[in-house]
Chains A and B, each alone.
Chain A
Amino acid sequence: MKRRLTAFDVFNGLIMLLITVVMIYPFWYVLCYSLSDMGMTGGNKLLIWPRGFSFDSYQVAFQNATIVHGFFISFARSVIGPFLMLVVSSMAAFAISKNDLVGVKWIRRFLFFSMYVSAGLLPGYILIRMLGLTGTFWVYVLPGVANVFNIVLIRAYMATLPAGLDESAMIDGATYFTVFSRIVLPLCVPVIAAVTLYACVGQWNSYIDAQLYNYRNPELYPVQYILYNYIAVKAPTKEASAASHGLITTAHSLRMSVTVITTLPILLVYPFLQKYFASGLLVGAIKA
């Protein structure tokens, strides 16, 4: 049943367009500013297109060894963290999906209950220090290796696979591990992709762990923390406003270009994020 285009359709479309603009424009503005010619950006007004055109601020950013190193740290944690999480969590999900595993009820309770308790910031901080993780790269990745929420998601997905699949393989003499790595895991690609991408974004976006555990180790700063420091220096206080204007202008566009560069990796995986994220979220919702 096809309907005529009504005033409601037009109005609704405009509202949706407005929402789109509100979601995207702030980031678009920063992109425009970062690409603007620094000499021409006297007085920073709202932009819908770069004023002049120059890659200068990007050149400055990429010539800065600290920033480049920060990207390296961020990439490392966004690859190593999700990989370890995936290995640990998917193996655990496979094991607890076996209802005949002796003691599986208790193991599930042990894992699931951990989602509802958190000792808090300070006990966690003391633990990390006692483990000697302070001042190391591992503090970024190890605390998150067993992500129980992801274990639940992966297990929920495994439960949808046909049951007889691994039993027949087991009869043919395959071990649990072979069944997991050769048969079950390849069938779980959609959920694996969802949790991996989500973990990558989480790692890429973290900075507070660097502030808490690694602020004495600039060689371990991820790019988000470097950007945070750029912004924090210019917090909206009176001292900051007194800083010299020329310096601010340069620092301003550098901050913009670093913001854009930091956003880019997310933008690159965005289509995939969207595709798998929604489906992953829904498996979780059904589970919950």
Chain B
Amino acid sequence: MTHGVQAVTRRDTLRKMVRQRQLYLMLLPAIAAVAIFTYAPLFGWWMAVSDYKIGKAIFDAPWAGLKYFIEFFTDTAGAGHVILNTVVMNVSSLILGLVCALAFAVFLKEVRWAWFRRLVQSASFFPYFMSWVIIYAVIYALFSNDGAVNATLQSLGLTNKAINILGNPDTSWGLIITVNVWNILGYNSVMFIAAIAGIPEEQYEAARIDGATRYHEIRHVTLPNLVPTLIVLLILGSGSIFNSYLDQFFIFTNTLNISTMEVFDYYIYRFGLKLGNFSYATAVGVVKTLVSLILLVGVNWISRKATTQSLF
């Protein structure tokens, strides 16, 4: 009896699937592309636990155990500075980027003239849409040894030697953090501006009736309303503390500043594609991905417990 019911349900399901065949067809390209370009490369993680040689089939490579992972955490002199560089630059960029964007959004709201508000917001977006090549070209034009800023400072007699910030180990972190905050300001502030627009006007009116000044309005109405947005963006960002844009670092890293500029993604590129050590570089990539995933889930969990704000 139960068998009969099950058979009927299954037949119904099948009939339904046949009826929905066009939907499956429409899904097919996306599923195939995700399977090929996102999931299939995961098999490449085999390289991390085997001695892979370039040009050979991946699964012919002999088992190497955790050799390359141990090498990363113990032997290689280069690993420590890579972790430090990545974390310092990303954490600072994330926090400063969000705090500046929050402040920007708050003060932008206080601007009285709507046209000026629109103009400033349009301008704040601009660097975000530029490629890293363009950004570097522009920064190079201004700040290189023979760039405009140095030339101007020298002609005014403020310095006699060019100040080098693009190829100087002492300025890498500051340079990247500044550039990142500048680049992302408009993008980050969109979220805050939207959150501010969502604050009910009654809250401000109530505050004014209680005699609130503009400072009080910012402090007790605007800011508290932005905290949830800030937390969500912080959680989102925490998952990419170990990720950098190769586009960016490929161009900002040079032989002079590599000691303080090299990040995980550049390190993986250098060891894998430049030095040909695929197995080692893949192992580093695996560590990076797993730590990122754990971090995202962990921060999300803590945030859910502590503030009830979470992504999933």
A interface residues (Cβ-Cβ under 8 A, vs B): 1, 5, 8-9, 12-13, 15-17, 19-20, 22-24, 26-27, 29-30, 33, 43-47, 87-89, 91-92, 94-96, 98, 100-102, 107, 110-111, 114, 116-127, 131, 142-143, 145-146, 148, 151, 175-177, 180, 201, 204-208, 211-212, 224-225, 227-228, 231-232, 234-237, 241, 248, 252, 255-256, 259, 262-263, 266, 270, 273-274, 277-278, 281-282, 285, 288
B131 close to A207 (CB less than 8 A): yes
Q: Are B38 and A117 in contact (CB under 8 A)?
A: yes
Most B Cβ at <10 Å: residue of A146, A175, A266: A146
A91 touches B30 (CB 8 A): yes
Tell me the smallest distance from the CB of B69 to a CB of chain A, in Å: 14
* Contact indicator B247/A207 (Cβ below 8 Å): yes
Q: Cα distance A116–B311 when bound, in Å?
A: 12
23 contacts between A and B (CB under 8 A): A9-B111, A16-B116, A19-B104, A23-B185, A43-B151, A43-B155, A92-B29, A114-B38, A119-B42, A121-B272, A122-B273, A124-B44, A126-B44, A126-B278, A127-B41, A151-B30, A205-B131, A207-B133, A227-B134, A227-B137, A237-B167, A262-B131, A282-B194
User: What is the CB-to-nearest-CB distance from A67 to chain B, in angstroms, rounded to a whole number?
Assistant: 14
Using Cβ atoms and an 8 Å threshold, which residues of chain B touch A270? Answer: 122, 126, 129
Beyond known contacts A26-B139, A232-B251: 5 more, CB 8 A cutoff:
A91-B27, A121-B285, A122-B268, A127-B36, A208-B246
Which has the most chain B C-beta neighbours within 10 Å: A19, A122, A270? A122
CB contacts between A and B, total, < 8 Å? 291
A98 to chain B minimum Cβ distance, whole angstroms, is 6
- Could you say which residues of chain A place their CB within 8 Å of the CB of B87? none
> What range describes how many residues of B lie at the interface?
35 or more
A89 to B281, CA, bound (A): 32
Select from chain B the residue with minimum beta-carbon distance to A226. Answer: B133
Residues of chain B lying within 8 A (CB to CB) of residue A92: 26-27, 29-31
In the complex, identify which listed stretch (B73-81, B88-96, B219-227, B288-296) lies at the interface while the others stay far away.
Answer: B288-296
> Is B40 an interface residue when CB atoms closer than 8 A count as contact?
yes
Which residue of the partner chain B has the closest CB to A2? B112
How far apart are the CA atoms of A145 and B37 in the complex, in Å? 10
Please measure, in the bound complex, the distance between the C-alpha atom of A8 and the C-alpha atom of B23, giving whole angstroms: 58
- Interchain CA distance A107-B30 in the complex, whole Å: 11
Given contacts A236-B256, A266-B129, is CB(A102)–CB(B17) below 8 Å? yes
Cβ-defined contact, B34 with A119, below 8 A: no
Report the bound CA distance from A107 to B254 in whole Å.
Answer: 44
